[in-house]
Amino acid sequence: MPATVLDGNRIAAAIKAEVAEQVKNLSLRGLKPGLAAVLAGHNPASEIYVRNKVKTCEALGLFSEKITPPENITTEEMLALIAGLNLRDDIDGILVQLPLPRQVDSKRVLLAVDPAKDVDGFHPLNVGYLSTGRPGLVPCTPCGVIEILRRSRIPIEGQEAVVVGRSDIVGKPVAMLLTNANATVTICHSRTRDLPGVCRRGDILIAAIGKTGMITPEFVKPGATVIDVGINRITGRAEFDKYFAGDAKREADFAAKGSTLVGDVHPKVAEVAGALTPVPGGVGPLTIAMLMVNTVKAAAMRRGARHGLPRQDTEELKAL
């Protein structure tokens, strides 16, 4: 029996509807959450990402501002720009779209963002809050993974979870979130011995390694829940046939676009897993949805008391 498909688009739509209602209620108290998106240079993929984030803000009633410094901006100029956004009371979240131009020190820029406005959850202070189970701003994609599990009623507490990938953006924070939810967590990486054997222990398997189709059926415990965080683009015919031969729907998409997306999980894993996120339409849609959640949370934490938001409501928003 094929795996149950965990529909990220449906879950993201539900979260956005909740955010829109929260924004409406906050606006009645004169508090409109605001997000600033900083896009330096002209990276086509980054431009699409930022455009989608700004469009989502508008759809949900959040204030958004896109700031587009030139390609030749210096680190010091970027730091000055961030310092100005830190001081603006109408901006609750600051999103610095990566990658930045080559001459800019990305680490210095990200560290300069006020932790209270760090809606990406990258600042060491927010990482520390996450690791110690305190309320804070958590990276969006890992939050999305947890929401998929929670809203699909997949148990986390007491389960064995295996995370493949140890990046600061996904692997480490999702492992901490799973630990905080009382899972027993193993983090795997390129030097893990017997990687397939370790992965097969997982009741929940998170693939965030960035390698096309690396997780094959031999990596998966029968009936396990598999969350595929990877997004890889296939453009060659031979590679397409390796993953999607005989898939008429994918064939039509590939013929029309000249490419298709595949995650870190091989499509044949659907024959072994109990539940599986698709690519596209799985984890991806949750990233923007959780960015909106973080912006509302940041607004409540920063400005809620000043706008007469009841303590109970503020605490509920902090806990999102």
Tens-level pLDDT at each residue, the chain (320 residues): 789 999 999 999 999 999 999 999 999 889 999 999 999 988 888 898 899 999 999 999 999 999 999 999 999 999 999 999 999 999 999 999 999 999 999 999 999 999 999 999 999 999 999 999 998 999 999 999 999 999 999 999 999 999 999 999 999 999 999 999 999 999 999 899 999 999 999 999 999 999 999 999 999 999 999 999 999 999 999 999 999 988 999 999 899 999 999 999 999 999 999 999 999 999 999 999 999 999 999 999 998 767 676 665 555 565 66
Beta pairing partners, 188: 164
Instruction: Report pLDDT for 258.
Output: 92
Q: Is the pTM of this model over 0.85?
A: yes
Please tell me which residue in 53, 117, 172, 221 is annotated as part of the active site: 53
Per the annotation, the verdict on 103 as an active-site residue is no
Cα 111 to Cα 15, 94, 123, distances in angstroms = 29, 12, 6
Per the annotation, the verdict on 97 as an active-site residue is yes
Q: What is the C-alpha separation between 312 and 314, in angstroms, rounded? A: 5
Please tell me which residue in 120, 203, 228, 264 is annotated as part of the active site: 120
**Domain definitions of the chain by residue range:** 29-114, 140-284
* Domain 29-114: which CATH number of 3.40.50.10860, 3.90.550.10, 3.40.50.300, 1.10.12.10: 3.40.50.10860
Residues 6+ apart with CB under 8 A from 319: 135
Per the annotation, the verdict on 168 as an active-site residue is no
Please say whether the beta carbons of 19 and 60 come within 8 A: yes
Instruction: Report pLDDT for 44.
Output: 85
CATH class of the region 140-284? alpha beta
Please tell me which residue in 97, 118, 159, 172 is annotated as part of the active site: 97
Cα 222 to Cα 145, 160, 197, 218, 304, distances in angstroms = 20, 14, 13, 10, 47
Instruction: Report pLDDT for 313.
Output: 56
Question: Among candidates 120, 135, 131, 143, which has minimal Cα distance to 316?
Answer: 135
Supply the DSSP symbol for 3. P
Per the structure block, which two tokens stand in for 114? 């006020």
Question: Among candidates 37, 69, 29, which has minimal Cα distance to 53?
Answer: 37
Greatest Cα pair distance, the chain, in angstroms, is 61
Instruction: Report pLDDT for 291.
Output: 97
Instruction: Report pLDDT for 185.
Output: 98
